[in-house]
Amino acid sequence: METVFKKIGIIGKHGDDRVIDAIKNLSEYLTAKGFEIYLDKITAELNLGLPHDVLERQTLGKTVDLAIIVGGDGTLLNAARSLFSHDVPLLGINLGRLGFLTDISPADLEAKLDQIFAGEYSEEPRGLLHTRIFRHGELISQSSAFNDVVVHKWNGARMLEYETYIDGQFINTTRSDGIIVSTPTGSTGYALSGGGPILHPSLHAFVLVPICPHSMSYRPIVVYADSEIKIIVKDCNQAEAQVTCDGQINLGLQAEDRIHISREQHLIRLIHPKSYDYYAMLRAKLHWGKRL
């Protein structure tokens, strides 16, 4: 089989026994096609009983030509954050509920992979966010996010008060439950639930969505993706506010902490079957009406 992909890495949802059969079926298929197969170390803890080499995540990123993610969107988000700097294409097998990013079902696995390995696929670049937290002028933490960065309260009924700046220009002071800064990829997630717009993945933009603002005049705003966003927390304590990246990484905040958010220089490379249709995916996942 002539394909640009020779070495395949497999990453499965951690701690979920449902992925075992799916990974074994995938392994059997890839072995029969003659690929070199590598398992992510955490995935291997599922006791799959497969003969493939096991690699740490960063070593996997340096080794493989393609990483196949078996699980849901959360699993792919985790893999994306750890592999984006290695420029490894990602392909998602959906065992989750919605599957905005993992768009191949286990039932279609062999047919879709046959097409992809025959060169019948599309590659889509997606941007990420980079977050840095400064306290008293010192960098105390940083992380990346594929979907969104959320500054929010988590332990109490009081609203947060914070200032927002874009490229050094003051935008507003807001009292709300927090604010979501989202990529186009994340615009169909938490940002959508908060009343934000859906951004097409090809847009070079971010959206800022306030969470339950005290004033209805505070609306979502879309900004250029090269913008530098700064949020200064004015009224909170460490037990009440935090930054969350992709709903998976939590960083505690104190009053006067400064959160700087900008785009990552590297892009995620998502692989889709040739039949992938973004708007059809939205119709299916969001239960939009069919054409009359």
Residue span of the structural domain in which 220 resides = 129-263
C-alpha closest to that of 209 among 195, 223, 198, 199: 195
Whether residue 77 is found in the same domain as residue 146: no
Whether residue 107 is found in the same domain as residue 155: no
- pLDDT tens for each residue of 65-97: 999 999 999 999 999 999 999 999 999 999 977
Which residue numbers are catalytic? 73
Would you say residue 292 lies in a domain?
A: no
Whether residue 206 is found in the same domain as residue 256: yes
At residue 14 the predicted structure's pLDDT band, cuts being 50, 70 and 90, is confident
Query: φ, ψ for residue 81 (rounded to 5)?
Result: -65, -30
Would you say residue 2 lies in a domain?
A: no
Q: Please give the tally of structural domains in the chain.
A: 2
Whether residue 78 is found in the same domain as residue 182: no
Whether residue 213 is found in the same domain as residue 95: no
What CATH number has the domain bearing residue 99?
3.40.50.10330
Whether residue 276 is found in the same domain as residue 151: no
Q: What is the pLDDT of residue 24?
A: 93
Whether residue 172 is found in the same domain as residue 191: yes
Report the predicted TM-score, pTM, of the whole model to 2 decimal places: 0.93
Residue 41 has pLDDT above 60, yes or no: yes
Would you say residue 1 lies in a domain?
A: no
**Triad 119, 121, 123: Cα angle to 5°:** 115
Alpha-carbon distance 10 to 222, whole Å? 36
Would you say residue 169 lies in a domain?
A: yes
Alpha-carbon distance 261 to 255, whole Å? 18
- pLDDT tens for each residue of 188-241: 999 999 999 999 999 999 999 999 998 888 999 999 999 999 999 987 655 588
Share of the chain above pLDDT 70, in %: 98
pLDDT mean over 96-111: 87
Would you say residue 277 lies in a domain?
A: yes
Would you say residue 291 lies in a domain?
A: no
**Triad 201, 207, 213: Cα angle to 5°:** 145
Could you give the C-alpha distances from 94 to 106, 107, 205, 271, in angstroms and in order? Answer: 7, 10, 27, 13
Kindly report the number of other CB atoms within 10 A of residue 156's CB atom. 12
